[in-house]
Amino acid sequence: MVAIKAGILGATGAVGQRFVEALANHPWFEITALAASERSAGKTYKEAAGWRLDTAMPESVKDIKVVPVDPKAVDADVVFSALPADLALTVEPEFAKAGFAVASNASSYRMEKDIPLVIPEVNPEHLGLLEVQQDARGWDGYIITNPNCSTIVMTVTLKPLMQFGLETIQVATMQAISGAGFSGVAAMAIYDNIIPYIGSEEQKMETETLKLLGEFNGSEIVPADMRVSASCHRVPVTDGHTEAIWAGMRDKPTPEEVRKAFLNFNPGLKELPSEPAKSLIVRDEIDRPQPRLDRNMGKGMSVSVGRIREGIRYIAMGHNTIRGAAGASVLNAELLHSMGKL
């Protein structure tokens, strides 16, 4: 198999480094371009990156010269975007126009009507929007997005509950500081503290979920007919978003029926390299899941659930920068390739 040439936009940042980690030894993709700001361009990646992960920087990328975030400078077939939303708003369309497949982690285009917002385990059929997008915009390439990190963790758990007639969802999140980037939360602000506000996070969870669980009718996504209410909080945890979820369902399933639905959840994506053996891991211990103990399950790609109680109430937890960010974009690209769209 000929490797697919992959570029990373925003390669030196926190999510960009997760992309490097995920793609350095990938069986389908080969990193051929690392792009970052002008202050990094021209340097080797080891000089520019300021590596922050607890794994070693892959040897294969250390001496790659960083290039500007410009379609003319990037040698790749697919680019993975870890750009800030304001920059992605202008840059990602330039790459799509130039014929690149853009797998974006940015929020800029998630809610655009002709751009798919995808979690492979949840709504792969929404990739039908790609043809709509290319026809409408005249692009040779395209943009596909993955949701917000907290939305991904929650929505993976909601998919197997759709069979019971989901009507209302309430969620309170306890989100890790890495979700704000390496310099995103001052130590004196978060130490010995909880911050009960994350800008635009609640709106993202409330709107993205409806698009993800909606129906593709051949030309657009009809949002799911349910109500989502979110309250989001930053807590002093390094990695791993924990969420308390209340799910109101028409059929009033028992906790045991919900547990079985989680256990039996099989999205049929085992051929994708980044798909874990279990998308959902059910923890029966009374005090699990916990970020420190469960965030790296499935190499960080599994979502753990537990404390399933009458109501229905349960706890969900997932790694926010792997399952909720870089890993999600890589999984989307793997799905595209498996469907012959890459």
Residues labelled catalytic: 149, 241
C-alpha distances out from residue 84 to 9, 75, 90, Å: 10, 21, 11
Query: What is residue 177's DSSP assignment?
Result: G
Tokens of 103: 């797998």
Residues 6+ apart with CB under 8 A from 25: 58, 60
In DSSP notation, 4-69 reads: EEEEEETTTSHHHHHHHHHHTT-SSEEEEEEEE-TTTTTSBHHHH----SSSPPPGGGTTPBPEES
Specify whether the CB–CB gap between 105 and 81 falls below 8 A.
Answer: yes
Q: Is 189 exposed, middle or buried (0-12, 13-18, 19+ CB in 10 A)?
A: exposed
Tokens of 318: 């997932």
